[in-house]
Amino acid sequence: MADPRIQVPPNCELTLGMTCVDKTVPGRTVWRMRADERFANPAGIVQGGFLGAMADSAMGSAAVTYARDAGRKVFASNVEMKTSFLASARVGSTLECTARIVSGGSRVAFAEAEVVDDAGRTVARASSTYLFTERS
C-alpha cells in the first residue's frame, strides 16, 4: 500500500520539470531538467536557487535509495546544504544532476551532487547532510 503522506512525483519536481533517469544503483541518482526561461534571473541565466533545488532533490532521492538498499523505509530531510556555482547555466540547455551518497549510517547520510549542462560543463556542485526518519 502506498504511503498517503508521499506524493510521487512531488510538486517541486513537477514545477522544475525534473525527471529521474537513473536510480538503479543504491545511493546514486541521475536527474535531468530543461533550463526553462521561467527560472532566469535578470541577467538571463538560471538563478542559482533552481540549481540548488535540483541538487537537493537528486541528493535526497539518493539518500532514500541508500536507506532502501538496507531494507529501510525513511524520509530523508535536508539538514544543511552548500552549493557552489561554477559556470552560468544557460536558458534552454538541458541540465543533468548526478547525486551520490559518500558516507552514511543509520541516522544520517552525507551526499554530493554535480550539475552539468548539455555541453558537459559543470555548472554547480553541492553537498548536503540528510537526516533519516523511519516511516511505516
Each residue's pLDDT tens digit, 27-60: 999 999 999 999 999 898 999 999 999 999 999 9
Q: Phi-psi region for residue 58, left (φ > 0), alpha (ψ -120 to 50) or beta?
A: alpha
Cis upstream peptide for 26 (omega within 30°): no
Separation CA 89–CA 115 (nearest Å): 9
Separation CA 50–CA 37 (nearest Å): 12
pTM attached to this predicted model:
0.92
Q: How many other C-beta atoms are found inside a 10 Å radius of the C-beta of residue 112?
A: 18
Spell out the domain ranges in the chain. Answer: 11-15+26-134
Q: How many other C-beta atoms are found inside a 10 Å radius of the C-beta of residue 94?
A: 12
pLDDT, tens only, 63-108: 999 999 999 999 999 999 999 999 999 999 999 999 999 999 999 9
Look at residue 3 and tell me whether its pLDDT is greater than 80. Answer: no
CA 92 vs CA 36, 45, 47, 57, 107: distances in Å: 6, 10, 13, 21, 39
pLDDT, tens only, 102-134: 999 999 999 999 999 999 999 999 999 999 999
Residue 136 confidence (pLDDT): 75
Any idea how long the chain is?
136
Pick the CATH number of 11-15+26-134 from 3.10.129.10, 3.30.930.10, 3.40.50.300, 2.40.100.10: 3.10.129.10
Residue 67 confidence (pLDDT): 96
**Cβ-contact 45, 98 below 8 angstroms:** no
Find how far residue 129's CA is from the centre of its chain: 12
Look at residue 9 and tell me whether its pLDDT is greater than 80. Answer: no
Query: Which pLDDT band holds residue 13 (cuts at 50, 70, 90)?
Result: confident
7 vs 79, residue with greater confidence: 79
Residue 135 confidence (pLDDT): 87
